[in-house]
Structure formats: structure tokens, C-alpha cells
Amino acid sequence: MNGTAKKQIQEIPLADIGEERLTQFSMDPPAETLVQSVKELGITHPVLLARHGKQYQIVCGHHRVECARLLELEIVPALVLESAPTSAAMLKRNLLENRAQKTYSDIEKGGIVHKLVEAGVPEAEIIKDYLPLLDLERSKKLFVDLNQCATFTPSLNSLLHSLHLPLRVFSILFRWDEASRAAAETLLDALRPGVNKCRELLELTGETAVKDGVPPQALLNREAIQKLLNDTDLSTPEKFDAIHKQLRLWRYPVLTDLQKQVYRAIDQLKLDGRIKLRTPENFESDQFKIGPGVNKCRELLELTGETAVKENTSPQEILNRKEIQTPLNNADLPLNEKYETIHKALRLWRYPVLTDLQKQVYRAIDQLKLDGKIKLRTPENFESDQFKIELQFKTRQELVAQVEKLFRATDSEALDELIRIFKELK
């Protein structure tokens, strides 16, 4: 790498440091804590500069120099490279020096990749040597996608960065024309949704545009969307919900009409707040569920992490155990049974005492002789004394049969045993 820094720290007049931003990768302003530190202590870590004509160019330390300008300092402590490095060398120097303490958004990474391309670094070298410096895998597709971020306007780049959107969410915009990107920018800037909600809006818009044979901007500029977006009586979450609902109506007109009929019928059942009737998402199955929803992914990750901490080992070691790998690789087990088996093993390791208690509870539940469409769920970790019953049914007759079976179970000794166990816990 050309350009070696003189070891002696020099005091460089701030006026002699140019505005060139080749190696400024961060899109954020200096942190307030850094501004305060420079104000009270000065710049304690010298910046790295390179000669650039009659001025100096920043190689590392843009935020420190920015603080100096904000505070109207006159002198900046610096190390100066003895010879003028190439643009590629300065980019690499900055990445190497800041790798340990800097993390970049995907939009910022796109900017870095594009600067490397403009500096003449070969594509193969960027993929092999530079993507790992950005904590990315060596992938040509990733390189191509990140380089395309340069086709966005500065304001769109700034918005996507401020929303913390990952490449997998905003990559759909690569296929949109300039007017459609501008319409998406207006929508996202007004709603400021989270990552998942952004993904839903962009995907619904893109899919509907393809279905209707129009550009995305034609959808987003329709009166129905614009009227909601400009309604000052609606809160931002209400605007999102209304716009999301409208996009779903255009994307799934048959499903949306069907949903209206289903929700109207559910309302007429007049269930209280403790009973939830869940319809299959997008009506891809014909089963209804009465009971609670479960965040299964969260449970698996939390159980794995907590068990690893408890046993002072790594999550990888937990997940590679035979008790996990055997059901995971069993082609004869359906997915829900794999999940239940793995979840049970993880809970056994995480809560060995509670798991023994669960065995007593499950034994009592088995003796109730409920069929597979009736699930009696015990409170997680036995922290409450509430049971939840989940029913799955397709017809009125199935629901009536399950309710009758539950009624018969209430007159059994097994139910008395369950109640006894929980009374002892209290």
C-alpha cells in the first residue's frame, strides 16, 4: 500500500484541510458524545491526512475534522502520509483502520463498493479482498447489487439508511424506474415503517404493479393512496394500516372480499376477548384455530441462547447435539413434529426441574384422552395458573364433537390431577 505516515504528529491548520469526501463512508453526522469530547478534551487521536495539491485530503478521521469545524477550532493534530497514495490505497487504508470499531448499513456498503469501482479496483479483487472487510461473503451477486445503490438519488439513499433497511428489502427498487422510486421514497418517508412493514409495502406494490401491468408509481399515485397519505386526521400507524389494506385489496381482490365475509361471520359469533378464532393466512388451508398464536422462532432462539449461557457452551454445540440433529434429519417426521421434538429437548436442558413437572402435567393431559385436534396448552414455565385450549376444525360438526369431548374430560380424575399440581405450585 503506497503512502507511509510520518510518525511525528503535526498541527495542521483546519483551513488547509479540503472538503474531499472520498473516504467518508458514514452517512451519519458525528455523535453528540464525540462533539462533546472534542469540545472538552480536543482531538486526542490524530487524523490521517494525505497531500492533495496545496491542501490536505482526509484519509481517516472525517468525523473528528467535522467536529473541529463545528467547534470552530483552528488547528487539527494529524499524521501525514509521506507520499500521495492512490484513491484505491486510501479507501483500503480507511477500511482496515476502522474495521474494528465501525459498522456500516447496507446502503453505506453500497457506497463503498461503488467508490472502489470508480477508483479502478478490479471486480474480482473487490469480491475477494474488500467484501470480507465489510463483513460480507464473497459473492458476485452481492457485489452487483451493492454497486447498484449508486443508481439511487442521494435523498433515497439517505432515507433507506435512516430506516436501517437491509439490501434484501430495498433490492426490489433496482427493478423500478426513477418515477416509481420517487413515489416509494415519498411513501416511506411519510410512514417511516419498520423493516418488515417496509418489505410488505414494497412487495405488495411490486406484485400488484406486475399483475396490473402498470409501473409501481401508477399504483402509489392513485387517489385512494394519496388521499390516505395526506389525511391529517389519521395517525401514522393508521395511515400505514389503511394503505396496506388498500394494497392488499388490489393485490388479492378475491381474498380480500373473502376476508370481509369471514370477519363479518366471526363478529356475529360474539366471542369474548379470551377466545380468539384464527383464520388461515391467505386462506391457504381450510382449518380454523381457536387458541393462542405462538412465536416459535423466538422460543427456539431464546431457549438455545439461554441454555448455552447456563451450560457455559456455544449455541452451536447445543444445536449439534444428537437429540437435535436426529429429529432434524428425520425425513419421515412432518415439520410440526420436528419442531415439537426439538423444542421439548431444548426445554429439558434449559429447565430440568420444570421439565420434570411438565412430565407430570403431560401424563395427566394424556389421560384426558383428547384427540390431535384439541390441544391443552400449559402456561410457559408455569408462571401462571391459566390453561389455554386450542381447537382445530373445518365444519360445525367437528367443532361440536370437540366441545363435547372437552365437556366429558371435565368429569375425569385426570383434570383433578392437573388442578392439584398447579395448586401445589402456588
Q: What is the pLDDT of residues 297-317, one digit of tens each?
A: 778 888 898 888 888 888 899
Q: How many percent of the chain have pLDDT more than 90?
A: 55
For the cut 70, the answer to whether the pLDDT of residue 382 exceeds it is no
C-alpha grid cell for residue 206?
Answer: 411490486
397 band by pLDDT with thresholds 50, 70 and 90: confident
Which pLDDT belongs to residue 264?
67
Sign of CA dihedral 389, 390, 396, 402: negative
Considering just the CA atoms, what is the radius of gyration of the chain in Å?
30
For the cut 90, the answer to whether the pLDDT of residue 115 exceeds it is yes
Whose CA is closest to 163, among 225, 107, 243? 107
Q: How many percent of the chain have pLDDT more than 70?
A: 78
**CATH T-level assignment (fold) for domain 10-98:** 3.90.1530
294 Cβ neighbours under 8 A, 6+ residues apart: none
C-alpha grid cell for residue 94?
Answer: 480507511
129 band by pLDDT with thresholds 50, 70 and 90: very high
For the cut 90, the answer to whether the pLDDT of residue 373 exceeds it is no
Which pLDDT belongs to residue 285?
54
Which pLDDT belongs to residue 258?
60
Convert the pLDDT of each residue in 158-194 to its tens digit. Answer: 999 999 999 999 999 999 999 999 999 999 999 999 9
Residue that wins the pLDDT comparison between 205 and 418: 205
Which pLDDT belongs to residue 293?
38
C-alpha grid cell for residue 215?
Answer: 409501473
CB 375 within 8 A of CB 291: yes
294 band by pLDDT with thresholds 50, 70 and 90: very low
For the cut 60, the answer to whether the pLDDT of residue 89 exceeds it is yes
Convert the pLDDT of each residue in 322-368 to its tens digit. Answer: 999 999 999 888 877 888 889 888 988 887 755 556 667 667 767 76
Convert the pLDDT of each residue in 209-256 to its tens digit. Answer: 999 999 999 999 999 999 999 999 999 999 999 999 999 889 888 665
CB 277 within 8 A of CB 291: no
Residue that wins the pLDDT comparison between 410 and 203: 203
Q: Strands of 288-290's sheet, edge to edge?
A: 277-278, 288-290, 388-393, 374-377
Convert the pLDDT of each residue in 15-49 to its tens digit. Answer: 999 998 999 999 999 999 999 999 999 999 999 99
For the cut 90, the answer to whether the pLDDT of residue 114 exceeds it is yes
Instruction: Return d(Cα 134, Cα 113) in angstroms, integer.
Output: 10
CB 43 within 8 A of CB 69: no
224 Cβ neighbours under 8 A, 6+ residues apart: 246
* pTM assigned to the model: 0.62
For the cut 90, the answer to whether the pLDDT of residue 289 exceeds it is no
Instruction: Return d(Cα 150, Cα 384) in angstroms, integer.
Output: 54
Phi and psi angles of residue 58, each rounded to the nearest 5 degrees, phi first: -75, 130
Sole residue written with cell 503535526: 10
Which pLDDT belongs to residue 260?
66
Instruction: Return d(Cα 366, Cα 187) in angstroms, integer.
Output: 53
| Mean per-residue pLDDT over the chain, rounded | 84
* Poorest-pLDDT segment among 83-87, 199-203, 319-323: 83-87
371 band by pLDDT with thresholds 50, 70 and 90: low
- What is the pLDDT averaged over residues 52-67? 93
395 Cβ neighbours under 8 A, 6+ residues apart: none
Convert the pLDDT of each residue in 101-113 to its tens digit. Answer: 888 999 999 999 9
